Amino acid sequence: MSISRRFQAEVDAERWQTAQLDNKTVYPRFVEAFGRPIDRQHSPRLIRLLNRVMRDAADPVWNGKEVFQRPRPYQRYQLTRRCGSSPIPAPDPAPRGGSSYPSGHSVYGWATALLLAEVAPDRAAAVLERGRDYALSRVVCGYHFPSDTEAARAIAAAVLTRLHGDPAFHADLKAAQAEHGAPAVPVPKAARKPVEAQAD
């Protein structure tokens, strides 16, 4: 709770603006780190692959929210500001349910970062750092606690790990890599190492 309060209230104007922009979109927020446009005109194969990952990530996100029913920060305490919302809502006197855990935005952001890092390994460090920052925006915005975004890392990594066992996914990944100009990655053997949730 204290970490949530600190990040939500104490960031400077520039970081607050970043959080508000992150609140609105996913793919365009990774363009600078990726180094190329991410849209249907310039990278249709990449968009197809990203959309497939987003669809596969949706079920574990919403199933988790349904199971845990965790109240969001703005239900627990009075925010000083919240992305995309005015006036600021009053906290619930006795919050009993919510959709804070896990963070959906953070799952989509982390999944995007992990995939872009595979498509463009030379940009991996910048892309994964953007993924971290994108997840932090959910805390800054007042929509999530830090543990909500940590759970999102695990979900995104699990989704990508499972997809790596699908030949159709590998075909699409190779196509996206070729579109980007990166060398193709060979299909891994059955006993493969799981995709890491973090770059650390």
Burial class (CB in 10 A: 0-12, 13-18, 19+), 147: middle
Rg (CA), the chain: 18
The H or E element that residue 179 is part of is helix 167-180
> Is the Cβ–Cβ distance between 182 and 35 less than 8 Å?
no
CB neighbours (10 Å) of residue 118?
18
Question: Which of the residues 22, 133, 148, 172 is marked catalytic?
Answer: 148
Question: Which of the residues 144, 153, 164, 180 is marked catalytic?
Answer: 144
Q: Check if 144 is active-site.
A: yes
Q: Check if 105 is active-site.
A: yes
CB neighbours (10 Å) of residue 50?
23
Q: Check if 180 is active-site.
A: no
Question: Which of the residues 29, 82, 123, 138 is marked catalytic?
Answer: 138
Q: Check if 29 is active-site.
A: no
Question: Which of the residues 70, 82, 105, 123 is marked catalytic?
Answer: 105
Q: How far is CA 106 from the centre of its chain?
A: 3
Longest CA pairwise span in the chain (Å): 56
Return d(Cα 156, Cα 73) in angstroms, integer. 22
Residue type, 11: V
Which residues are marked as active site?
105, 138, 144, 148
